[in-house]
Amino acid sequence: MMVKRTIFLLNLFLCLTAYGATGSIAYAQKVIQLESGQKIILLPDGTWEDASRLLFKGKPYRMNKPPFKERLAGSSKKVKPIILKKILEETNNITDLAAWFKNNQLNLNFCRPPASNSLFLDKLWKKCPNKLPHFYKGRDLRSAFFSDQNYFLVYGHETWNGRFLLIADRNLTKVEYELDFENYLISPSYLEKDKRFIKQKVKWAQIVDNILYVSHTHSTYSKSSKGHNAYITAINLDTYQLIWRSRPLLANADNFVVIGDVIVSGYGFTQEPDFLYQINRFSGEVLAKIPLKSAPDYIIRKRNKLFVRSYNTDYIFEFVSPRHAGVDE
């Protein structure tokens, strides 16, 4: 009883403190140690979890400064682009994204982090599990998504700043990787007046064969960072060394997909070219591109079809003879 009362009072204090600092109720989450030596996490809903259920060291690996230009890797594996046949091109209503997911029975494996204040996200994505760390190094959990094997957690001060990437196992028992991408945030040249907006956050990530594929992008015009924006980087998770980095302006969509030997990504922005790209996942080389009417937001594979949601147009592409690209039909 005493332990529960202590936890309740501590949680109440944290919530009131957060309220006083921000003027609205924030998500309080803190690790404390009881007299017994047990560590617990106080959660925003007044409950608590055993802190040992999701362990992280709090000592992220600081990634080296990357090139802000294309750096390809040598690869002896021949990779051909996937032949895609466009079977639908249809104007959407821009605000009907939830209906697009529902009508096509699609899912992107996002969850809604506590720091989100988007009414749209509230409707589209389920709330993230409570045991996800809501804070890391003083940053809020800004984005959370998952694959069959992993959870990917992105932390930053603002919505457009995702500096830290934590990768946990799918069952959320431990954090396997802690990465600091501070050196990826700001390009070597940019327009000084736009500096606040050109920090390139972690946008999406996937792991294949122990290689981390991760996209970094900012959310303003490419001219603000003088064209240095929207990269995909391949990183060896055994050594944390960069394998390759794509050329710029390839990946500012909310996600990309790995299909066999090919990464399919998308880039576009107001008054800029809009394309769907295919990239050799072993070398980083661009294999093909398809023009789109507006900037792509979501790229989702469903069996032998690729669904692409752009700002004002919906597309469906069908795979034609996919096996040559290492794609399972």
The whole-number pLDDT of residue 131 equals 79
* pLDDT confidence tier of residue 27, bands split at 50, 70 and 90: very low
Query: Model confidence over 230-283: pLDDT tens digits?
Result: 999 999 999 999 999 999 999 999 999 999 999 999 999 999 999 999 999 999
Question: Are the CB atoms for 275 and 104 separated by under 8 Å?
Answer: no
The span from the CA of 76 to the CA of 73, in Å, is: 10
Q: What is the rounded average pLDDT of the residues 96-118?
A: 87
Instruction: Tell me which residue of 307, 315, 174, 177 sits closest to 240, measured CA to CA.
Output: 177
Which of residues 306 and 117 earns the better pLDDT score?
A: 306
The whole-number pLDDT of residue 34 equals 74
The span from the CA of 320 to the CA of 329, in Å, is: 10
Environment class of residue 160 by beta-carbon count within 10 Å: exposed (0-12), middle (13-18) or buried (19+)?
A: middle
The whole-number pLDDT of residue 25 equals 29
Neighbours of 68 (CB within 10 A): 20
State how far the alpha carbon of 251 is from the alpha carbons of 85, 105, 254, 263, 298, in Å.
21, 24, 8, 10, 11
Asked which of 2-11, 135-144, 232-241 is least confident by mean pLDDT, the reply is 2-11
Q: What is the rounded average pLDDT of the residues 122-131?
A: 79
The whole-number pLDDT of residue 126 equals 84
Query: Model confidence over 30-68: pLDDT tens digits?
Result: 677 777 776 666 766 566 655 555 567 778 999 999 999
**From the centroid of its chain, how far is CA 169?**
16
Mean pLDDT of the chain: 85
Say yes or no to pLDDT of 318 above 90.
yes
Question: Are the CB atoms for 292 and 276 separated by under 8 Å?
Answer: yes
Beta-bridge partners for 153: 144, 166
Beta strands in 125-270 (DSSP E): 135-136, 139-146, 150-156, 164-169, 175-180, 201-208, 211-217, 231-236, 241-245, 257-259, 262-267
The span from the CA of 44 to the CA of 29, in Å, is: 6
Kindly list the structural domains of the chain, giving each domain's residue range(s) and its CATH number in brackets, ordered by start.
Answer: 2-53 (no CATH), 61-325 (2.40.128.630)
Q: What is the rounded average pLDDT of the residues 1-23?
A: 42
Q: What is the rounded average pLDDT of the residues 17-21?
A: 37
* pLDDT confidence tier of residue 113, bands split at 50, 70 and 90: confident
* pLDDT confidence tier of residue 122, bands split at 50, 70 and 90: low
Q: What is the pTM of this model?
A: 0.84
The whole-number pLDDT of residue 130 equals 77
Structure tokens at 182: 């501070």
Q: What is the rounded average pLDDT of the residues 96-103?
A: 94
Instruction: Tell me which residue of 104, 163, 166 sits closest to 133, measured CA to CA.
Output: 166
The span from the CA of 294 to the CA of 271, in Å, is: 9
Beta strands 286-291; 39-42: pairing state: unpaired
